[in-house]
A and B are shown apart, each in its own frame.
Chain A
Amino acid sequence: MTAIVAASALTRRYGEGDVAVDALAGIDIEFEAGRFAAIMGPSGSGKSTLMHLLAGLDRPTSGTVTLEGIELATLDDRALTILRREKVGFIFQTFNLLPILDARENITLPLSIAGNGADKAWFDRLIDTVGIRDRLHHRPAQLSGGQQQRVAVARALISRPAVVFADEPTGNLDSTAGGEVLDLLRRAVDDFGQTVVMVSHDAHAASHADRLIVLADGRVVHDGEALSADGVLDLMKSLKT
């Protein structure tokens, strides 16, 4: 299988001198197309930092990130922005929908920014998949948290990005709504062949993935097939000791 996103010898250091903290202490990792990977780890393990570097939101201290064969370090801000626009989808913990736009406009926002129109068939398929057809003209304030996050999932998928990064997508949702969003991500991988990388500290969320990566102190301490929720919890416990 081909790697969509790859990182090699990736480090990220915050601060300088005595107060310097190595958030990432050298990571080599690849993400294959059409797979759902979950990155777990305790607070400060570097999982968010890794995701930010992979998505081109931050620059590494050393090492390289390649997205669809493009080395991110070679891109200036503008090129990087356009790369994010075309190749990367984002799902945030806090949804981050624009309150002044309705659901439909929020979904097509990445295309609008690029100055493109939406592919009607793809749009229809997406909104039916996420189940918000009857909410298209509602503003975020008129939607529940789960509905908002489903809109956000549709927004992440609308431009058929090479990879979708989800940062604690269920962190602000109750278990029912969270479960729906995880199912959606699963379907995006299974039905649309989408590549998804999710950062989470929720064992239940991680159990939806194909692959589980665990980080601790800026290093990969586990990389293997996905486990059940209980399996994940056991693994985490064993890693702690």
Chain B
Amino acid sequence: MSRVVVRGFFARRLRAFLTGIAIALGVALMSGTYILTDTINHSFAAIFNTGARGRSVVVTPHQGLGSTAAVQTATINEATLAKVRKVPGVAVASGEVFTTVSLFADGKRLNKNAPSFVGSTLPARFENFSAVQGRLPSSGTEVAIDQATAQRYALKVGETLRVAGASAAVDYRIGGIVKFAGATSFGGAGVAVLTLPQAQRVASEPGAFDELVVAASPSVSDKDLRARIRAMLPRTLDVRTGLQEAAQQTSDLENQLGFLRTFLLIFAYVALFVGAFIIFNTFSITVAQRTREFGLLRMLGATRGQIVRSVVAEGVMLGLGGAILGLLGGLALAPGLDQLFKAFGADLPDSGTVIEFRTVWVSLLAGTVVTVIAGLLPALRASRVTPIAAMREGVSLTEKGVRSHMRRRIGIGVIVAAVLLRVVLELRSGAGIVTIVVIVAIVLLWRVPQSRARIKAAFSAVIVALARLLARPLELRGIVGRLARDNTIRHPGRTAATAMALMIGLALVSLISVLAAGTKASINNAIDASFAGDLILSNSSAAGNTGIPTEIPAAVRAIPGVSSVTAIAFTEGRVKGIGGNASITALDPASFSRVYRIDWDKGSNASLEGLGTTGTVLTKGFANAHHLHVGARLSVQTPSGQRVTLSVRGIATDNARLLADLTITLPLARTAFNQRTDAVDFVSYAPGVSNSQVQPTVNRLLAARFPQTQSQTAAQFKTSLGGQINSLLALIYVLLALSVIVSLFGIVNTLVLSIFERTRELGMLRAIGTTKRQVRQMIRYESVLTALVGGVLGIVLGIVIAAILAGTALSGSGFVFVVPPITMVVLFVLAGLAGLIAAAWPARRAASVDILAALATE
């Protein structure tokens, strides 16, 4: 029996290859994701391990909110350093500064797609940088720049480098080009090395450090020294040996990059799901076509179990083959993904290619299991073939079989779509309930045979009606168009399954484009409704979350025509009794309410002005989710580990999302939350002053002193926000394109199989005078028609899901339901093009059938 399976498999190797590709692409994205993220992690681990050299013990501020929190960590003061130096067994102890900055040369921002850092020089035994040209900075006017950045921007010793950190930018003379020990790549990141006082100045941390590094005397082990220092220092500081610190940094980074992996894996799962669809469809068709073969095997004494096992075994071979292909594809795809992220603004270090054993087994397992599961139903159907079928003429199993399993397919589709939605959108609990209700409703409907029959008939009718409607223009193309249309609706189930594979990808594209359009519209509305200022100042690059200096408001306020400037900062805290970190907005109450209209639910602008260092305002969503009311007292843990008690003074709705879960005052953020930079400044003009009178002056000031900062009017801000949404959208589209490509293979597969079934028809058509060109056309029309059915279903489904979301999960958030018409038209056209591409090879194959051989087929 197994020989029959293996022989059969290789006899149909072309089909096997096409089907295998369907699974291979999903696996490729999966393994590519693992390979890329592992490579990035290993590259960072190498950097961190190199960095740990010469360090017996490292002291860092405790990250009470976890490594993924978007906060500024506390600093370490000189008294602590002095205390550490006195610990017996400490040979040398130094403080160092390491902070994110923006670097400029000739007025141009360097390394826009990755963060830039400033590090301080250290005593020789700790120093990881070595000069390849010039020297490390020894005076307050010198800087050294990393070799990669220097090469990228052709920077030379003697030129000027401008460093903009948490305070006004400072110009330094490049005194050296340096490389990191071990010459590890930093990806697109840049590092500038300054003397300690200059680094402190740039970081706005006078007399403070980000980290203490300690070397032990020869007589003391790192472990013992760590224990001694630990005993001396408060719990707000972490004390680790050099190796522990490197391990900690590596695991922190893995946590931070975890989202990248999850993000990419979602698309891999979508592609695998689409692949499963195709496998299911292909197996269904081939099982139907092989009815006589199964009947013959049964007649010769094969048991039903053997038939099932033979089909499952085919699935295993196919899945494993596809998975191996996918794994190899992943190797090729990983650098592609890396380039993709570079193109979308995230340049991460990745030296070498890291293939963990986990990557191999997860990929192989996923590919095989998905294929086997998808092939299980068709296998069971094959086992129901009676021995008599071997003697019967023709193939009659197809139609009934495919239809009777449509419900399962739809059921699975709905459930998986719901799960995907949850993952993609992180639905709130309300939508979760709606989703469950919808699923239960569908399941219940299925349980009633009449309604089930009606839904199935309705679905089939929809497919046929849709195909007929879309085929209207084909009727002008004469008999070829007519034949294409009728061939497409000949097996509605098969067309449906093929179209649905494409539908999934396009539904996600359409859903996301509607959500993005709605998000843009709702943010625009919210800005129009709330923002009463004239200019918004913010960092011109999001890489590294460097924020903008707190000195800006005072400087801008001095410009004639400016009436007020208010700063806004973002941080996080952990509220006692509530899991996870709460996001916090910090602002200056008095000046804020002059430029921003708050939609108060409870309280008023007066409550804002009375916040002081003990009050907070909550957003309605947060308050509702955690049943908080005005007057409640929250115990909040700050990034530095302090606890502050805040009483709720007001509750507000803010569709612009400027107000986070909690809103506090800036002075509190500067102290307890050690927030040293701002996120944005809002500028408003004096009455009667026009933008053209003020913005140029503001821009000149920013260029001269705060080059990392840009000014935007509300309109410019909306445009750039739209641009950011668009570029995220583009990234998602690129990744979803893989699923669409997978579904193309599904179309190719179905076409090839149906051409195979119709070989004799094709022979006859050619014999009675159909040209090859006409045959090619016919197949192309069929393909385009199937693709358009999938396209329309996908577009509509996406819009419907978006509408449901707008009415449930997103209701009350100010979300505006907008369908971007151009995107939808483009999607429709793309679906048609996809069909055309998928048809290329099958059409040629159909046109080149040997007439005599075709006529001789049974």
B85 to chain A, nearest CB (A): 91
- Rounded to whole angstroms, the CA-CA distance of A52 and B764 in the bound complex is 13
Given contacts A101-B486, A115-B478, contact A94 B760 (CB under 8 A): yes
Which residues of chain A from 177 to 232 have a CB within 8 Å of any chain B CB? none
Given contacts A52-B852, A57-B851, A94-B760, contact A100 B486 (CB under 8 A): yes
Residues in B with CB closer than 8 Å to A57 are: 767, 851-852
Whether B303 sits at the interface, judged by CB under 8 Å, is no
Whether B765 sits at the interface, judged by CB under 8 Å, is yes
* Cβ contact within 8 Å between B768 and A109: yes
Q: How many residues on chain A are close to B (CB under 8 Å)? A: 28
* Cβ contact within 8 Å between B851 and A110: no
Whether B483 sits at the interface, judged by CB under 8 Å, is yes
Given contacts A100-B487, A101-B486, A109-B479, contact A84 B852 (CB under 8 A): no
- Rounded to whole angstroms, the CA-CA distance of A84 and B768 in the bound complex is 6
* Cβ contact within 8 Å between B852 and A82: no
Could you mark each residue 69-95 of chain A with 1 if its beta carbon is under 8 Å from any beta carbon of chain B, else 0? 000000001100110111011101010
- Rounded to whole angstroms, the CA-CA distance of A84 and B764 in the bound complex is 12
Residue from A77, A96, A113, A155 within 8 A of B772 (CB atoms): A77
* Cβ contact within 8 Å between B768 and A90: yes
- Rounded to whole angstroms, the CA-CA distance of A169 and B774 in the bound complex is 27
Whether B855 sits at the interface, judged by CB under 8 Å, is yes
Residues in A with CB closer than 8 Å to B767 are: 55, 57, 84, 90
Whether B429 sits at the interface, judged by CB under 8 Å, is no
B587 to chain A, nearest CB (A): 70
- Rounded to whole angstroms, the CA-CA distance of A100 and B757 in the bound complex is 14
* Cβ contact within 8 Å between B760 and A96: yes
Whether B490 sits at the interface, judged by CB under 8 Å, is yes
Residues in B with CB closer than 8 Å to A98 are: 483, 761, 764-765
A234 to chain B, nearest CB (A): 32
Closest to A155 in B: B768
Whether A58 sits at the interface, judged by CB under 8 Å, is yes
- Rounded to whole angstroms, the CA-CA distance of A92 and B768 in the bound complex is 11
B754 to chain A, nearest CB (A): 12
Residues in B with CB closer than 8 Å to A114 are: 769
Whether B727 sits at the interface, judged by CB under 8 Å, is no
A145 to chain B, nearest CB (A): 12
Whether A112 sits at the interface, judged by CB under 8 Å, is yes
Residue from A58, A86, A112 within 8 A of B478 (CB atoms): A112
Among B479, B490, B765: residue with most chain A CB under 10 A: B479
Among B765, B767, B768: residue with most chain A CB under 10 A: B768
Residues in A with CB closer than 8 Å to B772 are: 77-78, 81
Residues in B with CB closer than 8 Å to A100 are: 483, 486-487, 490
Q: How large is the interface on B (under 10, 10 to 19, 20 to 34, 35 or more residues)?
A: 20 to 34
Residues in A with CB closer than 8 Å to B765 are: 98, 113
Closest to B848 in A: A77
Which residues of chain A from 106 to 124 have a CB within 8 Å of any chain B CB? 109-110, 112-115
Could you mark each residue 273-306 of chain B with 1 if its beta carbon is under 8 Å from any beta carbon of chain A, else 0? 0000000000000000000000000000000000
Whether B256 sits at the interface, judged by CB under 8 Å, is no
- Rounded to whole angstroms, the CA-CA distance of A114 and B478 in the bound complex is 9
Could you mark each residue 178-220 of chain B with 1 if its beta carbon is under 8 Å from any beta carbon of chain A, else 0? 0000000000000000000000000000000000000000000
Residues in A with CB closer than 8 Å to B480 are: 113
- Rounded to whole angstroms, the CA-CA distance of A75 and B482 in the bound complex is 29
Closest to B480 in A: A113
Given contacts A57-B852, A77-B772, A100-B486, contact A113 B764 (CB under 8 A): no
A57 to chain B, nearest CB (A): 5
Given contacts A84-B767, A113-B768, A115-B478, contact A92 B855 (CB under 8 A): yes
Residues in B with CB closer than 8 Å to A55 are: 767
Whether B697 sits at the interface, judged by CB under 8 Å, is no
- Rounded to whole angstroms, the CA-CA distance of A96 and B770 in the bound complex is 14
* Cβ contact within 8 Å between A86 and B769: yes
Could you mark each residue 770-786 of chain B with 1 if its beta carbon is under 8 Å from any beta carbon of chain A, else 0? 11111000000000000
Closest to A165 in B: B767
Given contacts A77-B772, A81-B771, contact A96 B764 (CB under 8 A): yes
- Rounded to whole angstroms, the CA-CA distance of A100 and B782 in the bound complex is 14
* Cβ contact within 8 Å between B770 and A81: yes
Whether B62 sits at the interface, judged by CB under 8 Å, is no
Whether B456 sits at the interface, judged by CB under 8 Å, is no
Residues in B with CB closer than 8 Å to A92 are: 764, 855
Residues in A with CB closer than 8 Å to B760 are: 94, 96
Residues in A with CB closer than 8 Å to B676 are: none
Among B480, B482, B483, B767: residue with most chain A CB under 10 A: B767
Whether B766 sits at the interface, judged by CB under 8 Å, is yes
- Rounded to whole angstroms, the CA-CA distance of A109 and B767 in the bound complex is 12
Residues in B with CB closer than 8 Å to A155 are: 768
B397 to chain A, nearest CB (A): 16
- Rounded to whole angstroms, the CA-CA distance of A99 and B764 in the bound complex is 12
Which residues of chain B from 480 to 530 have a CB within 8 Å of any chain A CB? 480, 482-483, 486-487, 490
Residues in B with CB closer than 8 Å to A82 are: 769, 771
- Rounded to whole angstroms, the CA-CA distance of A84 and B483 in the bound complex is 20
- Rounded to whole angstroms, the CA-CA distance of A90 and B855 in the bound complex is 12
* Cβ contact within 8 Å between B771 and A78: yes
| A–B pairs, 15, beta carbons within 8 Å | A55-B767, A57-B767, A81-B766, A85-B769, A85-B770, A86-B769, A92-B764, A100-B486, A100-B487, A101-B486, A110-B769, A112-B478, A112-B482, A113-B480, A114-B769
9 closest cross-chain pairs (CB), A and B: A85-B769, A112-B479, A96-B764, A100-B486, A84-B769, A81-B771, A113-B770, A110-B768, A57-B851
Q: Interface of B with A (CB < 8 Å)?
A: 478-480, 482-483, 486-487, 490, 760-761, 763-774, 851-852, 855
Q: Interface of A with B (CB < 8 Å)?
A: 52, 55, 57-58, 77-78, 81-82, 84-86, 88-90, 92, 94, 96, 98-101, 109-110, 112-115, 155
A-B contact sample (9 more), CB < 8 A, given A81-B769, A82-B771, A92-B764: A57-B851, A58-B852, A81-B770, A84-B768, A86-B769, A98-B761, A98-B765, A101-B483, A109-B768
